[in-house]
Amino acid sequence: MNALAKCAAAGLACAALHAHSADNYPSKTIRLVVISAPGGTTDVLARVIAQNLTESLGQPVVTDNRAGGGGIIASEITARASPDGYTLLYAHTVYSVLPSLYRKLSYDPVKDFAPVGLVALFPNVLIVNNDVPARSVKELIALAKSQPGKLNYAAGTTGGVAHLSGELFKSMAGVDIIHVPYKGTGALLVAVIGGESQLSFATLPASMPHVRAGRVRALAISADRRSPVLPDLPTVSESGLPGFDVSAWNGVLAPRGTPRSIVALINRELHRIVALPAAMERARAEGAETVSSGTPEQFAAFIQSQIAKWAKVVKFADVRPD
């Protein structure tokens, strides 16, 4: 048999093996590599997904938290895994930011993965210290323009959603406000409550107790539609900055080359899970909304749009990783 024939035979054998494994999928434990540390919102929802997949697929789906490298390690593990459906990535927004923060990654976030489906969106809430006279986004923009460089906004991780939300706000509104980094949501909330920082794009669950207690004032939701948690609070877009839209996201991806039948199966399961009342209630408790995962192709397009969006913001703000 010549070399070409051997390669063809090997290709057919591999194709047959993948087809067989896909037909019998799943027949063993599935690992869901989570891009964040245990205990956070992303981890909570990943466990909801894993539990429901375990029940419906008849095989254990175990979460494996790999938060190191700001999400790079989890992505690397999944990109290098066998494309057989037994290693999946539970990703969040940082996945689409990393390509802009790091000039060279050991994986390609578009070419090395097979997007499976979107799971949830997380809007933030724009809060201000009670001494800030602005009562709307429009008034806040006017205030910032009248005092360039005088206001600052609190944010956690450099390159995180709160930080990039602030930078997107600056670029779209044409204002000069100063980014002040803090270690975690708790610290940034203390800063805004105490007046050390004047504003922040903070997570809903962490902010709401302080908003309801009157310690800070909520001006708007960062997403393009109002939150069912705060239906009377307008969006940033509708209250002074048209087109502003920021939501963190969670979704599932597989290694490139994973059989389409397996991707389609997991996608269908995600559709079913995010519509479950218990899953929706758990997500809302975390400040998120479960969303229809759409098709794998739609999720792929969403990821690419997110990468392009944050690339512009990172460039504008000259964001460098910590």
pLDDT digits (tens, 9 = 90+) for 260-307: 999 999 999 999 999 999 988 888 888 888 887 789 999 999 999 999
If you average pLDDT over every residue of the chain, what do you get? 90
Q: For residue 89, is pLDDT > 50?
A: yes
What dotted CATH number matches 3-122+248-317?
Answer: 3.40.190.150
Q: How many CB atoms lie within 10 A of CB 306?
A: 17
Q: Give the predicted TM-score (pTM) of the model.
A: 0.86
**pLDDT at residue 223, as a whole number:** 92
Q: What is the pLDDT of residue 322?
A: 63
pLDDT of 10 > 70? The answer is no
Residues of the chain with CATH 3.40.190.150: 3-122+248-317
Domain with CATH 3.40.190.10 in the chain: 123-221
pLDDT reading at 3 higher than 80: no
**Cα 245–Cα 228–Cα 242 angle in degrees, nearest 5:** 25
Q: What is the DSSP letter of 160?
A: S
CATH 3.40.50.2300 at 123-221, yes or no: no
Q: What token pair was written down for 54?
A: 């375990």
Each residue's pLDDT tens digit, 67-80: 888 889 999 999 99
Q: pLDDT-derived band of residue 236, with 50, 70 and 90 as boundaries?
A: very high
Return d(Cα 45, Cα 15) in angstroms, integer.
34
